[in-house]
Amino acid sequence: MPVTPEQQAEIDALRSETVPTLRATAPGIEAHLYKVLPVLDHGFVRVIDYMGDDAAICQAARVSYGKGTKSVTNDEGLIRYLMRHWHSTPFEMCELKLHVKLPVFVARQWIRHRTANVNEYSARYSILDREFYIPERDALAAQSVVNNQGRGEALSGEEADRVLRYLRDDAMRAYDHYEEMISQEGQAGLARELARMNLPANIYTQWYWKVDLHNLLHFLRLRADAHAQYEIRVYAEAICQVVADWVPFAYRAFEDYRMGGATLSGTALDCVRRMLKGEEVTQETSGMSKGEWREFVGVLG
């Protein structure tokens, strides 16, 4: 289950309380507070707290304009300008704190983004639950022959059944031994900090993750991309739903300039200019490597 009965009771209690405040609030994300967005088979994302909104981004940006503030364009136009020109500090004025439940192997990818504050469930202090990520059949795929860190064709039939059986059986067996090691009848069992080493990477962990909007958008640009690993991408997509409601102007600009846009090298831009003049440009005459050319052609569609 994504949340335990105890967690659900806490969530219900928190959502039933309302407290007057003088701070700026964003109605779009207020609706998300404490709600659970299910992800994968046992995971979730939920908003614990936030600071700032679209107006806070503009407020921070306009501080540097001084007396010129009155001539500044509307908020959405300003935010699009900031996004277009890669300004960062105005977006850092907004922060988001999430409670995330995720498989350990996804957490190890996620933690590579070192610009957030993280506090993870302690398997030294507490006992991990018997919950493992077991992929759906259509998420099982062979190793890609083109991309060393990607997937190829989907597995099917007996091969898919065999893989799913191994994943389930091995995870359960490892957890059985984990329980045995920490629960020796009549004597102290193995220390939890040692017993945890036997658990597989698909067991679930939880953490609180706090990040500013600038670094959150960088995370989403990489992890919500179609080329990202599926298991972390679905978390990023769930967070995208939250961010779109929280800072709609910033998110639309992000979709346009980061997710929907592309960055071209000087060589690639020169090729575009040559093509616009009617010249036939090939990989051999482009000045690009085969990999660069393949990506360039992909950008042009």
CATH of the domain at 10: 3.30.1360.170
Query: What per-residue confidence (pLDDT) applies to 189?
Result: 86
**pTM (2 d.p.):** 0.88
Q: Give the confidence band of 52 by pLDDT, cuts at 50, 70, 90.
A: very high
Q: Do 42 and 156 sit in the same domain of this protein?
A: no
For residues 203 and 71, the model is more confident at 203
Q: How many CB atoms lie within 10 A of CB 148?
A: 7
The structural domain count of the chain equals 3
Q: Do 241 and 266 sit in the same domain of this protein?
A: no
Distance of CA 300 to the CA centre of its chain: 27
Q: Do 30 and 167 sit in the same domain of this protein?
A: no
How far apart CA 61 and CA 85 sit, in angstroms, is: 13
Q: Which residues are catalytic?
A: 223
Q: Do 211 and 85 sit in the same domain of this protein?
A: yes
How far apart CA 246 and CA 262 sit, in angstroms, is: 25
236 in Cβ contact with 168 (< 8 Å) = no
Decide if pLDDT at 193 tops 80.
yes
Q: Do 61 and 163 sit in the same domain of this protein?
A: no
Q: Do 160 and 25 sit in the same domain of this protein?
A: no
User: 73-80: long-range contacts (C-beta < 8 A, 24 or more apart)?
Assistant: 75/249, 76/249, 76/252, 76/253, 79/54, 79/249, 79/250, 79/253, 80/249, 80/253, 80/256, 80/257
Domain that holds residue 175: 134-201
- Asked which of 201, 224, 253 is the last residue of a domain, the reply is 201
Summarised one tens digit per residue, pLDDT across range 278-301 is: 999 999 999 999 999 999 999 998
Q: Do 278 and 174 sit in the same domain of this protein?
A: no
Q: Do 114 and 225 sit in the same domain of this protein?
A: yes
Angle made by CA atoms 59, 63, 66, in degrees to the nearest 5 = 130
Q: What is the dihedral of CA 84, 85, 86, 92, to 10 degrees?
A: -90
